[in-house]
Structure formats: C-alpha cells, structure tokens
C-alpha cells in the first residue's frame, strides 16, 4: 500500500478505503443521507464514511454517525478534524484531534488531464506560465491543490472563494506549495494562521494536502518531508 504519511504531520491518521469499504453498508442515519442516490454516489459515500470511521477509531473518537453540516460537509465529532476525497474508485480520509492543527483538507485526482475548458476557470495567468514551464507535472496539480486549499479554509471562514482568488507557488524539490490572494479575492484569510500545502504522486493518482497551524506553534518533525 502506498505511503502517504509525508502529506501531513504524524498526528494525522490517513486511511485509504479498501475494496470492501465501497460496498459495506453504513449505520441507518448515514444510509438515509444517500437514500435515492445513484449507485455511484452511494459507493463513494460509503467508501468515504467507512474510511473516516476507520481513521477516527484509531484516534479513539467516540462512535457515532458522521452526518452532514449546513453545506453538506461531514459533521466531525467534537474535538476532531477531518477531510474526505474520492475519484474513480480511489478514496481517502484523513482525521486528527484538534490541537496544533486547526484545519486540514485532502484531495485525490487521477493523473489524466481535466476536461477541455475547465482549466480556464482554475488557472491564473501566473499559473498558466508555470504549467508551460513544467509540462511534465500532473495536469491536475493546480486544480487539486486548490481543492484541498478550499476544504482546509472553508470550515474556518464559512465562505466560498473562486479558484482564481488565489495563485499557487510551488517548491517542486520539496513537493510543497503556498498561495497568494489575487486581486479577484473577496475574502480575508486569517493572518494568525500558517498555511502548509503538500503534494504526492503515487500509483497513477495525485494527492494534495493542506493544513493550518497557529502562529508560533512548532510543527512536529517526524518524517523526511517535515
């Protein structure tokens, strides 16, 4: 199994959904959330929730259904953070206890290109130039990184922001990224938080991660990626 531990600090549990998790029924309350959904959506939902439960179990979280918040995001147990992503029979969930990390997000994408026309709603002019200079990078890298960035910030700011609200800056040697708000950005990112973005290419898929720490909080150093 792939090692995704470099995407987050060591206190974050990462669970890739097993084949069984895609079809294993959930509790009654969770199954009601996908009642009437198409089979594909039901499989994705079960995989994500089963993987999330497995991660929370490793953290000794109290058992119980993972329902939905007002914006259809998973409602994590009090004192815990999490994020779920899935694509084309691949699903991963990450969870941790609230503490040094204040929020997190993950995204998984196939290495295939985006549909024609979508990138023009994603990339800023600076990012277009970056992609032209680094044509061997995964075609969905910027899209995926912005997906995980959104998942990381939304629980804190509670507002949607368009993908062209930020421009990404990559450190390719360390597989990390940062972001800068653009002139199109209409929201305020909390200044007392430190943003961490990472990515990894593994078994035909791309994984991107984001997490936030408080200013002055030391980040655990338990693997080669820091």
What CATH number corresponds to the domain at position 100?
A: 3.90.470.20
What is d(CA 15, CA 222) in angstroms, rounded to the nearest whole number? 18
Per-residue model confidence (pLDDT) at position 72: 81
Ranges under pLDDT 70 in the chain = 1, 216-226
On whether the CB atoms of residues 45 and 85 are closer than 8 A, the answer is no
HEC string of 177-222?
A: EEEEECCCCCCCCCCCEEEEEEEEEECCEEEEEEEEEECCCCCCCC
In a domain, 220, yes or no: no
Per-residue model confidence (pLDDT) at position 225: 32
Cα angle 128-132-135, degrees, rounded to a multiple of 5 = 125
Per-residue model confidence (pLDDT) at position 224: 32
For residue 73, how many other CB atoms are within 10 A of its CB?
Answer: 14
In a domain, 223, yes or no: no
Per-residue model confidence (pLDDT) at position 222: 41
In a domain, 138, yes or no: yes
In a domain, 226, yes or no: no
In a domain, 128, yes or no: yes
Per-residue model confidence (pLDDT) at position 223: 38
Please, which residues bridge with residue 214 across strands? 193
Tell me which residue range forms the domain holding 172: 5-214
In a domain, 219, yes or no: no
- What is the number of structural domains in the chain? 1
In a domain, 221, yes or no: no
């Amino acid at each position: 199994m792939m090692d995704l531990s470099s995407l987050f600090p060591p206190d974050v549990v990462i669970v890739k959904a097993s084949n069984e998790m895609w079809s294993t029924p959930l509790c009654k309350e969770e199954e009601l959330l996908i009642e009437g959904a198409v089979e594909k959506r039901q499989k994705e939902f079960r995989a994500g929730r089963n993987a999330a439960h497995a991660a929370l179990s490793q953290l000794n979280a109290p058992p119980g259904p993972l329902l939905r918040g007002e914006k259809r995001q998973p409602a994590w147990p009090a004192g815990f953070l999490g994020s779920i992503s899935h694509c084309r029979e691949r699903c991963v969930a990450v969870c941790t206890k609230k503490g040094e990390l204040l929020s997190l997000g993950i995204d998984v994408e196939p290495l295939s290109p985006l549909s024609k026309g979508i990138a023009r709603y994603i990339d800023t002019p600076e990012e277009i130039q970056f992609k032209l200079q680094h044509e061997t990078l995964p075609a969905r890298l910027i899209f995926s990184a912005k997906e995980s960035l959104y998942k990381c910030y939304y629980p804190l700011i509670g507002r949607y922001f368009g993908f062209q609200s930020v421009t990404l800056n990559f450190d390719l040697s360390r597989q990390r990224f940062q972001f800068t708000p653009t002139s199109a950005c209409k929201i305020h990112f909390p200044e007392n938080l430190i943003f961490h973005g990472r990515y990894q290419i593994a078994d035909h898929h791309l994984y991107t991660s984001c997490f936030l720490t408080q200013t002055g909080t030391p980040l655990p150093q338990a693997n080669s990626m820091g």
